Chains A and B, each alone.
Chain A
Amino acid sequence: MTPKNYLYEMIRSELTWVVGDEHVQANEADNLGHSIDYYWVPECWHDRGERPTPPDLVVYPGNTQEVAAILKIANTHKIPVTPWGGGSGSQGGALPVYGGIVLDMKRMNKVIEIDPVTMCVTAEAGINAQHLEWEVEKAGFSTMHLPASISCATLGGFIAHRGTGVLSTKYGKIEDMIMSLEVVTPTGEIINTLPVPRHASGPSLTELFLGSEGTLGVVTKAVMKIHPIPAARKFHAYLFETMHDAMVAGSQLMISRMRPAVIRLYDEASTARIIKRVLNIDRKGAYLVFGFDGPEKIVDLEMEEACKICEKTSKEDLGTEAGQSWWKNRYKFFYPPYMFQLPQAFGTLDTVATFANIENVYWAMKNVVKENFPQAAFIGHFSHWYDWGCMLYARFIIDEPPKDPNEAVALYNRIWDMAIRAAIREGGVINEHHGVGLKLGRIMRDLYGPAFNVLESLKKVLDPNNIMNPGKMGFPGKGV
């Protein structure tokens, strides 16, 4: 599309007819915001004075029927459509890399029903996650999906990227929380997945769209589990001599089938650099924090048993205060200046693996970064723990990357390629909750092997004209 020809005006008129004049925007103020998400590459591009690709039009649908009508128009004219929630994804999944339509979902922000019998909430997918949580809390419940991006991401964004909240170890990832979905397919049909998440009526269509990053359709509505507000939520922190000692304790908590709401383990470098800066805890070693919630008596008993496990190998009991402090400041890590900032180059090498493999994944990535990129620092923490393994939130940081944006991005991509391929060799999976997007599409075939053909076939059937978020998740682009 180009804003200069009459076809553009014809298409804009069609879209305006669907959503109203005010809800089709093509101005430079909005385009700038929609050309940059939380991915380092467009941020770097902007930082170096370049202009990331803007959309041709930003369209704000107000309901599912409007989404369907917009997709029918786009499909007729074969125009790329990139769904946009909060724009806080770190993988470039919401970037309109081929221009076209950005479908900004934030107008679809209604809580439709809070059902205290089934304990679920039905909401439109564009609702801001913090607004959703506030509404659910007002009714006396919680979604228990509380990631650092809660203030900016939308419910649909979480679904698109299989997001994970801070309490994932007890309450699960978003795919464990979603009961059913309403989806508009790329050709404009409105479909609903089955109303319960456990059934034997064929494969789960809900699962098909969870993590599809807007490549298979647009999620417009979701039914999500909610939970009672726990009577107690308590935390405790320990310091270990090494990350390995802490990993042994953390995995023991999980394989003994205890039910912590959260565990976080910071490696020695993170403890020295991040824990010191944000929590003002100045220690050498590996910081481990965990928490339980629920009825107070049960929480106290679980806490007692968990402490017994940690005391076997820990170097220092940092106590409940150091644990509570982490909970209180859990989002502070992501605010400037605590978060890394341009012109620094930084990336989160989000990887998930079994307990048998996770430390090997860590060392493989750390060694590859250290050996090949001496200018990069490598830190990591282990974020989301399950009864079979956990997620590694590894990060590389380069304080002075090349000033030339092409060189900077090339260096950035080289680090990603080498580190992630090293992780995959050790049994790591990219990734646990950030998604694939533009950033990691090229690695999907390596990750999946022949199974990727199945995903490609699904994409072709659902989206014959490849209008939905082209060039993401390893699916074909539109040609440059």
Chain B
Amino acid sequence: MHIENYLNVINACRFCFMCRHLDPVGNVTFREADTPRGRALMCDRIRMDAANLSNADYIDAFYRSAMSAANRFHCVSDYDETGLVLAVRRDIVEADLAPAAVKALAKTLEKDTFSVKGKGRVLYFGPTPELYKGCAVITGGDPGKALAVLGFEAASKKVFTRFKKAVTDSGCKTLIVAEPSAFEFLHDRLPGVKVIHSAAYFVEQGMNKTGSRKAVYLESDFLKNTCGNPSAPRDLLKQLGYKLVPFGTNVEESYAVGEGAVVYDTLYPALAERLCQRVYDLAEGLGKTRFITASQTVKDTLKKYNPAFDVITLEEAVALSQD
């Protein structure tokens, strides 16, 4: 089983409570199963007796995880609890035990294909191609990250192979990626191609300050907790003239409404709404402050449950500066 590669995590986390205050789902459901300790205990039971892998309550808890990686980021020993959840999801999928909704979603994601439009030395992958003059554009769905997160590793590889072929065929040696989940997935998988996040691209270009406005930058699970917390998003917003204000009560918790699980709102809309509600509640004291996120998915989720919530993406912030 894949979880056997994470025995150190199981042994460390199964009786450890030191990061439980940071599990975004645990913080809205309050359930012991929605903490790294709870999940490690279940994995330990599966390790002891593989029959427990088919426990429907366990499976639901594993898929309910928002996988924010805030817990790993917090841990002084960097135990990879997110990796453990990915591993057990792979075990579930390989045993053909994935919930029907997960299987149905995977079937859809497996069909994603990719095509490149335009010509140039730089390729862009994201929702706002009009910002990238002179760049070729690759379009399609998710490059394989969502399938990987759901535990469908083989299908993920197939989709990624299609994505990689499209990139290779384009001849481009630089790929700009907007969505943090895709950036995290792609940044070290394309030999010979420099993969950069769109925020870093704009910072390199140099943006003109176009005003002065208070804003909250909602940290990305992937950029902050998995990709070394690059300063580019904050640097970009400062270049654009935004005055960033702190949000929430701390800098450790994830407010990214399920970003780490990539397709969270599709599978668990009620929980995603509760994650959003936590953000809305915390935002109440800030008055008319704009929220800015690196992720289109995060923005869409926040808008879905409160259309009046003032949230835009980093790319939209750039677009506004060019109006």
Contact = CB atoms under 8 A, between A and B. Distances in A.
A45 B309 CA distance: 49
B18 A49 contact: no
A336 B9 CA distance: 10
B42 A29 contact: yes
A469 B64 CA distance: 31
A87 B17 contact: yes
A479 to B, nearest CB: 27
B20 A32 contact: no
Interface stretch (B29-37, B92-100, B115-123, B149-157): B29-37
Interface in A196-238: none
A104 interface: yes
Contacts of B31: 25, 29-30, 33, 58, 104
A152 B18 contact: yes
A337 B18 contact: no
B41 A138 contact: no
Interface string B238-267: 000000000001100000000000000000
B51 interface: no
A137 B16 CA distance: 25
Contacts of A32: 32-33, 38, 41-42, 45
A417 to B, nearest CB: 24
B61 A29 contact: yes
Contact of B11 (A87, A126, A341): A341
Interface in B1-59: 11-22, 27, 30-33, 35, 37-38, 41-42, 44-45, 48-49, 55, 57-58
A86 B77 CA distance: 22
A338 B76 CA distance: 10
Contacts of B250: 134
A60 interface: yes
B188 interface: no
Interface residues of A, number: 43
Contact of B57 (A27, A134, A137): A27
Given A28-B55, A33-B38, A38-B15, A49 B48 contact: yes
A130 interface: yes
B17 A60 contact: no
B190 interface: no
Contacts of A351: none
A332 B17 contact: no
Given A33-B41, A134-B250, A341-B12, A87 B32 contact: yes
Nearest to A332: B76
B16 A335 contact: yes
B310 interface: no
Interface string A139-167: 00000000001011000000000000000
A165 to B, nearest CB: 16
Nearest to A23: B30
A104 B31 CA distance: 8
A36 to B, nearest CB: 7
Given A29-B61, A30-B32, A36 B41 contact: yes
A134 B38 CA distance: 24
Contacts of B19: 151
**Chain B interface bracket (under 10, 10 to 19, 20 to 34, 35 or more):** 35 or more
A172 to B, nearest CB: 23
Interface in A42-84: 43, 46, 49, 58, 60
Contacts of A373: none
A336 B32 contact: no
Contacts of B49: 49
B17 A337 contact: no
B44 to A, nearest CB: 7
A151 B17 CA distance: 7
Contacts of A149: 17
B197 to A, nearest CB: 29
B306 to A, nearest CB: 21
Contact of A131 (B33, B45, B77, B249): B249
Contact of A28 (B48, B58, B76): B58
Interface centre among A126, A152, A331 (most CB of B within 10 A): A152
A335 B41 contact: no
B12 A33 contact: no
B174 to A, nearest CB: 40
Contact of A336 (B38, B41, B79, B249): B79
A60 B32 CA distance: 11
Nearest to A48: B48
A86 B20 contact: yes
B185 to A, nearest CB: 29
A384 interface: no
Contacts of B16: 335-336, 339
A216 B92 CA distance: 44
Nearest to A131: B21
Contacts of A331: 18, 76
A138 B35 CA distance: 25
B131 interface: no
B58 to A, nearest CB: 5
B77 A38 contact: no
A271 interface: no
Contact of B44 (A25, A46, A126): A46
A142 B31 CA distance: 27
Contact of B12 (A130, A135, A138, A336): A336
B170 to A, nearest CB: 46
Given A335-B16, A341-B11, A30 B33 contact: yes
Contacts of A12: none
A88 interface: yes
A357 to B, nearest CB: 33
Q: With a 10 A CB-CB cut-off, give which of B45, B58, B249, B250 has the most chain A CB atoms.
A: B249
A31 B66 CA distance: 21
Instruction: List the 10 closest A-B pairs by CB distance, nearest first.
Output: A33-B32, A152-B17, A134-B249, A106-B30, A29-B33, A336-B12, A27-B57, A29-B57, A33-B38, A29-B61
Interface of B: 11-22, 27, 30-33, 35, 37-38, 41-42, 44-45, 48-49, 55, 57-58, 60-61, 75-77, 79, 249-250
Given A30-B57, A331-B18, A336-B12, 13 more contacts: A28-B57, A29-B33, A29-B58, A32-B32, A32-B41, A36-B15, A49-B48, A86-B17, A134-B249, A137-B249, A151-B21, A341-B15, A342-B15
